[in-house]
Chain A
Amino acid sequence: METTFTGLQQQQKIDFDKMVTALTVVSRRKNKILEYWILFLVFCVGVGVYFYIKQLQTGLGITGMRDIVSWGLYISTFVLFIAISLIGSLTLAILKLLNQHWATPITRLGEIVAVGSLIGALLIIVVDMGRPERLWHIFVYGRLQSPIVWDIIVVNTYLIISLLLYYLPLIPDLHILHRRNLMGRGFKAKIIKFLTFGWQGTEEQNITLHKALHALMIIVIPVALSIHTVTAWLFANTLRPGWDSTNFGPYFVSGAFVAGAALMIILIYGARKVFLLHDYLRPLHFDRLGKLLVLLMLVYLYFNINEYLVPAYKMREHEKHLLDSLFTGEFAYLFWFSQFGGLILPTFLLIFKPLRKPLPLTIISFIVLVAAMIKRYLIVIPTLTHPFLPIQNYPEYYKHYSPTLPEVSITVGCMAVVLLVITILMKIFPVVPLYETAKEKGIPQSIINRTQP
C-alpha cells in the first residue's frame, strides 16, 4: 500500500500528519499556562466548597437573600449558565445544517461549552436549594404543572443530546489517535479503543454516523429553544411586575445567544493562543463570529425595547416603581451599563471590520459577557425588591440585596467548575475536529486510516 502513493497523495499525507501533530499537541505536551490556569480554577473551586460546607451548616442565611429577595446571585447565575449552554448546540447545529463549513473547527468547542455550562447550571441550582438532600423528592413527588419540573426534564434531555453531539463526532478522531498510538499503550489505549466502538471509517459507518448526527442536530434545535424558554417561564409564570410578560421566552432566548457567542469568542481566542491553533482558528472565524454577534445583539436589542418600552409607556403603578428603580433609581448604573455598554455600543463598534479582528473582538466580547451577567441579575433582583405590598416590619436591609462573601465565593466556585470542565474537555482530546477537518480538506480515508506518521 505504501508504494502506490502518487505525488498528490504524498502531499496529502504530509498535510494530514502535520494536522494531527498540530491538533493533538496540547493533549500530549505539558503546558505551563494551562497548568497554572487549572491550578487557579481548582483553588476557586476549593474556596467555593469551603463556603458551601459552611452554608450547609448555617443555612442559606449565610447568603444575602432574605424573605423579600428570596432568589439572588445563585438563580441569576443559573440563568446565565442556561443561556450560555444554548450557543453550543443550537447555533452550531444551525450553522452545520446550513452547510457553513467555515464553522467546522469551532463546532466541538460549542458542544464543550454546552456540556460545561449545563453541568454548572445543575450544580448551582442544587446549591440554591434549602434542602439539597431532598433532591430525590422531585423524582418521587414531582408534579408536572411546576415549571421547575419542566426545566429539569428539558435540561437533562439537552445535556444528553449535547454529550452525544460532543461524543459522536469524536469517535473517528479517537480512532485516529488510537491507530497512531498517540495515547500511549496500556490502560489508556484500551479506554480509547473501547470508546471508538469499533469505528473503522468504512463507507457504511460514515453514512450511519452522518445520519445520526444529522438527526441529533435537528432534534437539538427545539430542545435547546425549549430549555431557555422554560427557564424564562420560571419567571413569566408568576404575577410579579417585571416577570409577568408574554415576551419573556423569546427575550431570554435571544439574550442567551448573545451571552453564549461572547463566551465562545473568548474561548476561541484562548484556544488559539494557548493551544497554538492559529492555523485552524483564523481571523476569518473572528470576523464571521463578530458579524454573527452583531446580528444576535440587534435581535436582543429589539426584545429589550419591547420588554421595557411597552410597560414604561403605560407606567402602571407597580411596574412604575420597578422601572423607576431601573431607569433612575438604585439599579440605574447597572441597567444603563448593560444596555449601552453591553449592547448598543458593542453593536455599533462591531460594524467596523478592524474591530472584528481577534483581540479587539475578544475584548468587546468580554464586556458583552459581563453585561450579560449583570443583565441576569437585573432580571431577577429588582422585581423581588419591588413586591406588590409594602415591605414593613422587616429589618431595613431586607429592602435591598447585596450578595455576601460566601455567596459570591460559592458562585465563583461554580463558574470555576464550568471553566474546569471546559478546559479539561478542550485539553484531553483535540478541540478542533480532526476527522471532519481532514474530510473537508479532501483527504481520503486511506490516508486517515494509516497507522504510522
Chain B
Amino acid sequence: MLISHMSTEICKLMSLNQDKTNRRAFFVKLGLAGIGSVLVSKWMDKTSWAPNMGSTAKHLIIARDAYINRIKNSLDPEINVKARQGLPGKKFVLVVDLSRCRNARKCMEACAATHQLRPDQFHLNVLEMRDDEHTAPYYLPKHCQHCDNPPCVKVCPVEATYKRTDGIVLIDNERCIGCRYCIAACPYSARSFNWFDPKDAELYKDVPYNVERNVPQKKGTVTKCTFSADCLRNGELPYCVRACPNGVYYFGNLYEDSVTNGTTGETVKLSKLLEDNGAFQLLAELGTKPSVYYLPPRRNN
C-alpha cells in the first residue's frame, strides 16, 4: 500500500504539469512493461533449476529411516544452549594415519548418511594428493580442521559459527544468515552450503534441530564437520572414526594426552604417537592452528 502510494506520488511529481490523460497513458505503459517482463521471464525460464538427486539403495533407505526415528525421539530440549559451551576438561584432537588410508571411503559414507548430505556436499572429503610430480600420490581424508585460530569464526557477522572451549567449531543453522563469508574464509574448503532444499527434507521435517549434529539441514545455511559433537557428548567416538575399516583414525583428548583408534579400539599416548611418526598439520604455515594431525603417508617403522 505504502509503496504503491509512494510510487504514485513520485510519478505525479515526475509528470508535473502534464494533463491527466498523458499520465494515465504512461501508467498503462508501465503496467505493460511489468506484464511484459513477467511473460519474457517465463519464456526465458523453461528450466527446472533443482538438481536430480538420484535414487538410494534399499538397505540404505532402511538404515536412514531407523536413524531418523532414533534422532527424532532422543533430544534434550536444552541441547542447543548447552552446545554453545564445550565439554568440560576436554580438548579434542583427531589424528589421521595416512599410511593406512586405502581410500575405502567408509568414513565419507557414514558422514553423509548422518548429516543428511547431498552427494555433492562434503563434511569429510578423501582427497588424492600429490605434493609434487616426482612424489607418490596418497589419500588424505580432509575434515574441518577445527582450527584454534579459525578464520571462519572470525568473519561470521552473527556468531552463527563459533568455537567452543573443547576446541570444536560448530554452526548454528537457525542463526546463520547464509552470507557464505565463512566459506570464502576457510582455507581448507571444509564448508558446504545448502544451495537447495537439503536431501530428504520431507523425511527430516519433524526432527528437532541439534546444533551438535547440524541436522536437520536447512536451505540457505552453511554446514560442515562437527567432530560428531553429539557422539562425544555421549562418550562415543565420531561416526567417521568408528566407520573406518583400516585403522586410519585416532581420536581423543589433548588434555589427557591419549587417543583411541576407532578400528582397533587401542588407546595410545598422543604425544608419543605424534613424535614417533613425524606428524604434521595441513597448511600449518597459514597459522590456523588445526586440531587435526596427519601421520605421513610413507615411513619406515
Contact = CB atoms under 8 A, between A and B. Distances in A.
Binding between chains A and B:
yes
A244 to B, nearest CB: 9
Given A39-B29, A58-B50, A398-B120, A424 B220 contact: no
Interface stretch (B75-83, B92-100, B190-198): B190-198
Interface in B174-206: 175-181, 183-185, 187-189, 191-197
A138 B36 CA distance: 37
B183 A67 contact: yes
B29 A47 contact: no
Interface in B242-301: 282-283, 286, 288
Contact of A409 (B36, B41, B184): B41
Q: Which of B33, B38, B176, B197 has the most CB of A within 10 A?
A: B33
B10 to A, nearest CB: 6
A66 interface: yes
A385 B282 CA distance: 20
Interface string A41-73: 011111101110010001111100111101100
B156 interface: yes
B67 interface: no
A145 interface: yes
Given A238-B155, A393-B125, A398-B120, A46 B183 contact: no
Interface stretch (B12-20, B57-65, B207-215, B226-234): B12-20
B177 A129 contact: yes
A45 B37 contact: yes
B178 A60 contact: yes
A422 to B, nearest CB: 14
Interface residues of A, number: 74
A154 interface: no
A441 B26 CA distance: 38
A60 B195 contact: yes
A135 interface: yes
A406 B45 contact: yes
A60 B192 CA distance: 13
A188 B155 contact: no
Contact of B196 (A59, A188, A391): A59
Contacts of B239: none
B175 A137 contact: yes
Given A67-B193, A141-B175, A237-B155, A47 B37 contact: yes
Contacts of B160: 137, 141
B180 A71 contact: yes
A130 B220 contact: yes
A390 B127 contact: yes
A135 B188 CA distance: 27
Contacts of B180: 70-71, 128, 130
Interface string A138-149: 100111011111
16 contacts: A35-B29, A47-B37, A50-B38, A54-B45, A60-B178, A66-B195, A67-B122, A130-B177, A131-B221, A135-B177, A147-B181, A148-B155, A388-B188, A389-B127, A389-B282, A391-B189
Interface of B: 10, 12-18, 22, 26, 29-30, 32-34, 36-38, 40-42, 44-45, 47, 49-51, 120-122, 125-129, 142, 151, 154-160, 175-181, 183-185, 187-189, 191-197, 219-222, 282-283, 286, 288
Given A54-B49, A70-B193, 16 more contacts: A35-B29, A43-B37, A59-B195, A130-B194, A130-B220, A131-B177, A134-B175, A134-B177, A146-B154, A148-B157, A148-B179, A240-B187, A393-B122, A395-B120, A398-B120, A409-B44
